[in-house]
Amino acid sequence: MKLYYAPAACSLASHIALLEAGLKFTALKVDLRRKTLADGSDYRLVNAQGYVPALQLKNGEVLTEGPAILQYIADQAPASNLAPANGSFARYKLQSWLNFIATELHKNFTPLFDPTAAEATKSAAQQKLVQRLTQLDQQLAALQYLVGDYFTIADAYLFTVAGWAKLVKFDLTPYPNLLSYVARCNQRPAVQAALAAEGLLPKGA
């Protein structure tokens, strides 16, 4: 398999999941501004939308959209417990979390990265993030990980999105349970390996 990624983008979640699953893959870095790969080829020939992640399978098929890719990865390595069994209520809970992260957190962080976004747009996104992160922090008070006592693909996604706060100078100190959760995820070997591979660890770490 080939994972097309950009450092610190939402593709980091898929990178973490692949390592957690122990699957063999090649990571190919995408220049999102130029929409090119390291060899200069047009990334849009892989994913017409031009964004990451994309996962190319051995048969040449390409899967896009993070939550779909994450579930595909989990299902290739069921023993890794990265997702509950299909059809179970726990699986639907996992999908609920993936949708929450995508629509309520990921979507609202996006304008904060956009230098062309109006200040009113950024302010509205920040207000929505405060609301959703306050709710999330309350839920995390009673949770080790999002669907129980074990790490899943939803945790890989939330860890990735929470990491964007530092990049856009969004203060997470009002959310101590979230900060503890992020620190817990950060200690996992697969998370550290993905961060290292993408050049995201502090120098000297």
Establish if 143 belongs to a structural domain.
yes
Answer whether residue 203 is part of any domain: no
Within this chain, do residues 41 and 113 fall inside the same structural domain, yes or no? no
Residue 104 and residue 55 in one domain: no
CATH code, domain with 21: 3.40.30.10
Decide if 62 contacts 8 (C-beta within 8 A): no
**Same-domain pairing of 97 and 176:** yes
Range of 184's domain? 89-188
Taking phi over 0 as left and psi of -120 to 50 as alpha, with beta for the rest, 35 belongs to left
Any domain includes 19 = yes
The pLDDT tens digits for 130-152 are 999 999 999 999 999 999 899 99
Q: What residues form DSSP beta bridges with 28?
A: 4
Whether the per-residue pLDDT at 204 is higher than 80: the answer is no
Q: Which of 49, 51, 48, 53 is nearest to 72 (CA)?
A: 53
Global confidence as pTM: 0.97
Q: What share of the chain is helix, strand, coil (3-state, %, to 5)?
A: 55, 10, 35
Q: Helix (H, G, I), strand (E, B), or coil: what is residue 160?
A: helix
pLDDT digit string, tens, across residues 47-63: 999 999 999 999 999 99
Flag whether 174 is in a domain.
yes
- 182 found inside a domain: yes
CATH number of the structural domain spanning residue 133: 1.20.1050.10
∠ CA 38-6-62, nearest 5°, is: 80
| pLDDT value at 75 more than 80 | yes
Residues 69 and 119 in one domain: no
Supply 104's token pair: 């309520």
